[in-house]
Every structure is written in structure tokens, then in C-alpha cells.
Chains A and B, each alone.
Chain A
Amino acid sequence: MREAPKNRIAKDAIKAWRLSAALVMLVPWALAIASFFLVHFIEVTYWYSTSAVALLIVVTYLVVVFVPKIRWRRWRYELFEQEIYIQHGILVVSRTLVPMIRVQHVDTKQGPILKRYRLSNLTISTAATVHEIPALPEKEAADLRDQISELARVDEDDV
């Protein structure tokens, strides 16, 4: 296999991932803060709540600041005439080859957070697997989708 694929995904992906990670982290934070009030009413030491908050600070840093950056740095893709080449992963780096003739359909998806940054996810489905290129600029994702479906002409015979 050649070296890593050429194209990166949108830089705004980091912001979008950070925002969604932050939103998810709100839940444990709310619970941790609520536990302080609870401790006030029933007689337990504050130690549990304090250590929970300490742990949360570390986890929040990792999930919100660190991981999105690394993830963005690893995510690369490249489109060839006959195949799609994707690299992703944080600790484990995977490189995947998907031949165009195996592609069954391509989707673009966009949630509210991605919409805010004008990004969308592209998913490529074969008969057995689903591959994703996340957080592409809207326009690029749409072009890529059209391009792939143009290139993917599945033979009747092959599943």
C-alpha cells in the first residue's frame, strides 16, 4: 500500500467534535454537581464527589481537547478512479481500501452540530461493510458523493 492518503477532512471538524463531546460531557458534570447537593443532605464525606470531579476534569480534557485533535490529524482519505482509500484511528491506525465496484450506495448525513459548521458526514456502504468519511465541507461531501456514485458501477453478477 502506498503512503497515507492525501486529503484531510475539514479543519472545522475539530470544533464540531469538541462541541458534541462537550455536550455529552454535560451529563456526567450535571450528575457530579448534583451529588454535592445530595451529600449536603445525607451524611457522606465529600471525598467521593470531589474525586469524581477530579476524574471528570481529566476525562473532559482528554475527550474534548485532546482526542478530536488527534482524530482530525489521523483522518485522511483519497479518491481514486477505481477505489477509495481511507485512514483513521487514534491509537490503532487503520487504512482501508474499498474498490469502487464494491460500493453499493453513498450517503451524506448532517446533524445539527455539523450543520452549524456547514459540514457533513459521508458514508460509503458495500454489501458487507460501511465506511465513513466524517466532517467534510458540505459542498465537498456532496461532490464526493456524486463522484463516487458515478464511479461505482456495480456489475449485476457480482454481489
Chain B
Amino acid sequence: MSNPKRLHPAAMIFRVISIVRSLIFAIGATVIVTMGNDFFNYIVLGIVGLIAFFIITSVIEWLRFRYAVVGDELRIEQGLIVRKKRYISKNRIQSIDLTQSVIHRLFNLTKVQIETAGSDLSTDASLSAVTLEEGQALRKELKYHNGEAVESEYVDEIEQDEEEQYTKETISTKRLVIAGSTSGSIGVILGLFIVLFSEVERFIPTHVYDDAMSWFLTQTISVLIVLALIVLIFLWVLGILGTVIKYGNFEVTRYEDELYITRGLLEKKQVTIPLKRIQALGIKESIVRQPLGFATLYVEIAGGEGGQNARTFIFPLLKRSEVKPFLEKILPEYQSLSNEFIGVPNRAAPYYMVRASFLPVVVLVVTLIFAIDFWYVPFVFILIAMSLGWLRMKTAGYYIDREHLIFRSRDFSKDTIMMKHNRVQSIQLRQTLLHRKQQIATVQSSILNNFAGRHAGVRELDYEQAKRIADWYSLQKRIF
């Protein structure tokens, strides 16, 4: 593999598609605005010219893009005008992920994403299309440091009989459907639907629109409700479908020092998570899933992946009682999960309830000023908000053992986050004047993730308990 190689020619197609996709709104808008205009033909000509230009540059870029594995390095040369050469040392490579979109799968290709240690995206590399065998060969070759040739043979062995050696977990289709139906993505899809409709609306001929509208308005309430229900169920099914496609064939495998996740029915995605980079383990129980006893597992990772998804799911849906066995199998480092949480004292209740009902109170005041007749609407919201505050107070708590700190909290979903002592970047205790009088304090820990860091903590904990957490953290005086 020492002589430079080009990507698969399909890389050109991907490049053109991605450029066109990023410009589609600008192009679409121009076309619509100038439609029927005198310049229309010129505009179309211009767009065709532009696309031709992109195709040509894509071809040249494809010609210029070469990669090779030379000794200990992956070398990439690229660039149309500015020529770039990037040499990535094997030792610096943290993970190599193969992703296949639908088009990739048609040609039996794969995208190779190489992540290095820094959180700086510019140090990462990506090969947009190589054949699947090539991708797997690359992965194997780069994955393990040179000079340990023995190990690379060992890797071959692993790939063959990993079934016996390494534990893995998969998700059943039934679970996936449950995950989809409780995912709450219905709201997102509804939003998309509305946006889409408002875009499409202007293409519908006026008389059709008017006819539909007048038919709509003459229907009885019950028909309208049934219609709304049908739409909602349709969107719900769409949400389930989306989840099933995204997380279908989900499989997480534990190797010695990394987690390896593959998922996706249409687009196959691989994610490698080196254990070194895991900063915390989280268990999220959304307000819909919690009563059903389901939870989602995620990890906070330092560096890589880019900002959009700060947390990585390591399992889409688990029964609460299955979490512990799962962790024992897949992530024994974080298995010391306990139910003996130490909660916040009752004197913290006012803080929680006032905080939760702050916004509804503002709304109530505004309502009292402008629409006094409807005073009961925000009033009901205040009651709901206060019970949410109460719920939050009941959820809040912490647990510590020798090397783990666990915080449990709730915004709407219940979130349990488990940190190792050596992954916590700092601990802070905060007290207002009132807090000091009441002997309570807010505890907050900072951990690193690939976004901007994250704070986890418990508000208004008993001061003695807060001090206990600080003492646990302090290297000067450890209580265990």
C-alpha cells in the first residue's frame, strides 16, 4: 500500500452532490424568483454553467487527491489551488470509522473517517469513497501501531473469531419499535412538516387550495379531530420508522480498550470509542420512557466527532433492570451503579419550586395585566411547573464510592451521570447568603466533552454532604 492511490471515482459524484446540496436553497430561490422573468433563460444557463464548473473542479480534485500508507504514516495530498499534504502518524490515530451511505452501498464503497487525538477538526482526515475491502484493509493497517507486527496478525484472528472472544450486545426489533414510539421525535417531525407545508403551499394552485380550505371549514369538529389523529399517527409511525432506520442492526462490541458500535439499516455507520476518551457515562430516562421502565445509555467523549452530537449513545433502549448487567458485560469500568442515592433535604424545596415556576409566574403577571379573564391558564401552568420542581427535587441526589461520583438530576428527563475521579476536571461548591443560613450548598463538577465541557451537579444539597463530595474529590484528604 506504499504507492499513492486515488479515491474511488464515485468520490467525484459525492463531491458534486454535497456542493449542490449546500447550494440547493440558493439555486431554488433564484429559480422561483426569476420564474417567468425575462432573465430566466440566462439564470438557468448560469446554473447549468455553475454545475458544470463544480463537476470539473470535482474531477480535478479527485485527480489531485492521493493517499498512501508509508511506514508509520498515512499521507494525504490534496488541493486544487492550494496544495496540502497531511501526514498523520499511526500513533496519533484514535479511531478509524467506516460509514456507508445508501449510494456507498450501491457501489460497495465506504467512507473512511480518521480521528486523531486533538479536538481540532482540521487534524482529522476523511476519505470520501474507497472500496469496502480497501477501507477495511486501511483500518486494519492503521489501527495498530507499526513495530508490533505480531499484533496485526493477532487482529486478523480477532476479526475471525471475535464472536467467542468479545462480548457484544444487539437490540431487538421490538425494542427498536418501542424506542421509536417513545422517542418524542414526533414533535420534530411535526415541525418539519409545518415548515415543509408552508414551503409547498405556494406551489399549490390557488383554486385547489381554496377548494380544499372551504371543504375543510365545512367539516364537523369530529371529522377534524379524526383527521388530526390520522395525521398524528402518521407522523408517529414516521418517527418509529426513522428510529428503526437509524438504529437498526445496532450492535455494540467491547474490545480490550475500545467500544465499537455499528448501526443503521440504510446508512451503515461505525463508531469507535476508545475507552481512554470516555469522560462520563450517562443514563437518560425521558419523561415518556421512565414510567415504562426504559432508559438510554450514552457516554461523554473528549474530542473528535465535531460539535453537533456532544454525546454518543452506546445503547438506544434498555430496561432499567438490564442496565447493570449490560454495563457488567460491555463497560465494567462503570458498573458500580447504585440505588442508594443521597437526596437533597426538604428545606431545598422552595428553591426548586420557585426556579421551576419562574417563567409561568412571569406569564401570569403579563396575563393579569392584559387578559385578566384568562388568569386561570397560567395558574394551571404554575401548578404544573411547581410539581415539576418537586419532582426535580425528589430526583436530585448523588452517590459516591471509591472512584466514582454519580449525580442524578432532572430537567424533564431523568439523567444519571457517572464520573470517575480522574475524569472530573474540577469541583465547585456554591452558596448564596440564604444557602449559608440554611446550611445548604450547590455542588457542581466539570467534565470534558467534545463540545465545550459539561457541568453536572446537585443543587441545594445539605452542606455536610456537599463537603463530603469535596473531600472525596480532594487529593489532599481522601475519606476512603
Contacts and interface: CB of A to CB of B under 8 A. Distances in A.
B88 interface: no
Contact of B446 (A95, A101, A126): A126
B475 A99 contact: yes
B438 interface: no
A95 B433 contact: no
Interface in B453-480: 453-454, 466-467, 470-471, 473-477
B425 A102 contact: yes
Given A1-B467, A128-B448, A159-B277, A97 B425 contact: no
A102 B426 contact: yes
Interface stretch (A5-13, A86-94, A107-115, A134-142): A86-94
Contacts of A91: 432-433
Given A126-B446, A128-B446, A1 B425 contact: no
Contacts of A44: none
B165 interface: no
Assign chain B's interface to a size class. Answer: 20 to 34
Contacts of B426: 96-99, 102, 126, 128-129, 131
B430 A159 contact: no
B474 A83 contact: yes
A127 interface: yes
B425 A126 contact: yes
B428 A94 contact: yes
Given A102-B426, A128-B447, A159 B302 contact: yes
A116 B471 CA distance: 40
A48 interface: no
Contacts of B84: none
Contacts of A128: 425-426, 446-449, 453-454
A131 B453 CA distance: 14
A157 interface: yes
A46 to B, nearest CB: 30
B427 interface: yes
Contacts of B436: 93
A97 B478 CA distance: 13
Given A82-B476, A128-B425, A92 B453 contact: no
19 contacts: A1-B429, A1-B474, A80-B476, A81-B476, A83-B474, A83-B476, A91-B433, A94-B430, A97-B428, A99-B426, A100-B475, A126-B425, A126-B446, A128-B446, A128-B453, A129-B425, A159-B276, A159-B303, A159-B448
Interface of B: 276-277, 279, 302-303, 422-433, 436, 446-449, 453-454, 466-467, 470-471, 473-477
